[in-house]
Structure 1
Amino acid sequence: MPFVNYKYKILGGLAAMALSAPLSAQQSEKLEPGTMAGRMAACTACHGEQGRAGPDGYYPRIAGKPADYLYNQLVYFRAGQRQYRPMQHLLENMSDEYLKQIAVWFSEQHPPYPDPKSSRLPAATLEHGRRLVMEGDRARGVPACVSCHGQALSGVLPAVPALLGLPHDYLSSQFGAWTNGLRKAIAPDCMADIARRLTPEDVSAVAGWLSSQPVREVAPAASLPEPMPMECGSQVHVGSRP
């Protein structure tokens, strides 16, 4: 299977333990019983305080992402359209309304971004990744990432996520999940279509370039200057429990 990162699969068995892992003293002081921050302890155990990202490169930053995007992903996990068993177990009995509350809470968190890690990829590979991100590949029908995720790659309201501030391993594994059908959105599933047009070398280049860029703009853009180059079902707010 192309693009599968086996360490990502192994983490599935460890994530359940992480959900009950002891929190740092500094974090536990902020998690007052009954507050939303306290109720989100099961999420931040893996995704980091305020959803700033886990330390291992596989649990992405969810802080500051558009609320509609976060809500859609929670629904997809609950329904099995995104396959990651610890998330499915965590969400399976949660209502749509509570998922909306979770999404809004994390969308309003804005912890600082860490400095990006330098990539070990050759300069030519990183340049290839930059071109795909900024220009796409018209011959293969691959749109530029910026044409949907915004010129600053900081996401676009209401439901397009930022691409910067994400680790290389997470980005690579998501392309693999789309390619292999482990991650799905409602039709038309534009990212799955795009992922299948990319080679493993393309994916490595894109993930390497994106993960090595500093984050200059944090808030998602209000809109795109032009319509998206592809119709994407993921931009629809999921309105009912599957």
Structure 2
Amino acid sequence: MVAAHWLPGRAQNVATPQRPPDTIEERLRACVSCHGKQGGGTGNVYFPRLAGKPAGYLYHQLVAFREGRRKYAPMNFLLAYLPDDYLKKMAQYYADIQVPYDNPAPSVVPDQALQRGRSIVMNGDPARKVPACVACHGPNLSGREPGIPGLIGLRFDYISAQLGGWRYGTRTALEPDCMQLIAARLTEAEVAAVAGWLSSMPVPADTRPLKASSERLPLECGSQQR
């Protein structure tokens, strides 16, 4: 192939590169490889679905990655210089998307552990001041606005890793950090049991997060700050 040379006074037949559309969807293409198209998730067990989660929750997580309170180098790098307003637009984009959930994965824990996990999720453990997951995340475990995420469609390894992160202080949230308090009261076996139940539970008919309300939660929780 002969290289084209510029000659003075001669028209150049050079195609103008086509600019991509300036939309929030186009700007968030970097998120697709890990979190899937429209944030619907991928086969990677450690990358969570984003679609449909409360905007306040997503925004707080983006800020936590930007400020280093949540540590994952690719996310820390991508978000390091993004301003609050842009993070809010990102969060709202994913919060507004409703795409179908994948079928739940088969349970990876024994049946006895699965039932223990279900008991904690649905009833908690009052003797140890462990509230039921449904008390905060909603009866369908679909989350609660403005800042409590849905637990639907998450994989065993991801749930286990996040609960472990709170237990050992490698993941933190806005004070009062209610999840750190709750996770610290669970044993490792109970973390596995809860993760096993949540990752294999059926997808409910209504997956939308509950609207914000004045309902009092079992613990004061910084994630519900507006």
CA contact (8 A) 1:168 1:207 kept: yes
1:41 is aligned with what amino acid? Answer: R
TM-score normalised to structure 2 length? 0.88
Q: Secondary structure of the residue that 2:207 maps to in structure 1?
A: coil
Structure-2 separation of matches of 1:36 and 1:168: 31
Structure 1 residues 1-242: aligned runs within 5 Å? 33-216=21-204, 217-223=206-212, 226-237=215-226
Query: Structure 1 residue 213: deviation in Å?
Result: 1.0
Deviations for 1:10-60, whole angstroms, at most 9, x for unmatched residues?
Answer: xxxxxxxxxxxxxxxxxxxxxx53221111111121101111112111000
Query: Structure 1 residue 92: deviation in Å?
Result: 0.5
Query: Structure 1 residue 120: deviation in Å?
Result: 3.0
Structure-1 separation of matches of 2:27 and 2:215: 39
Which 4+ stretches in 1 moved above 2 angstroms? Answer: 223-226
Q: Secondary structure of the residue that 1:60 maps to in structure 2?
A: coil
Structure-1 separation of matches of 2:116 and 2:75: 34
CA RMSD of aligned residues (A): 1.3
Of 175-184 and 198-207, the range deviating more from structure 2: 175-184
1:111 is aligned with what amino acid? Answer: V
CA contact (8 A) 1:148 1:224 kept: no
What is the aligned length?
206
Query: Structure 1 residue 215: deviation in Å?
Result: 1.4
TM-score normalised to structure 1 length? 0.82
Structure-1 separation of matches of 2:178 and 2:139: 19
Structure-2 separation of matches of 1:78 and 1:223: 26
Deviations for 1:163-215, whole angstroms, at most 9, x for unmatched residues?
Answer: 11111110000011112222111211000111111001100000000010121
Structure-2 separation of matches of 1:63 and 1:178: 23
Unmatched 5+ residue regions in structure 2?
1-19
- Among all aligned residue pairs of Structure 1 and Structure 2, give the percentage whose two residues are the same amino acid: 51
Structure-2 separation of matches of 1:179 and 1:82: 14
Query: Structure 1 residue 218: deviation in Å?
Result: 1.2
Tell me what 1:5 maps to: none
Tell me what 1:14 maps to: none
Deviations for 1:63-113, whole angstroms, at most 9, x for unmatched residues?
Answer: 000111100110111011111111110000101000000000000111110
Structure-2 separation of matches of 1:225 and 1:105: 26
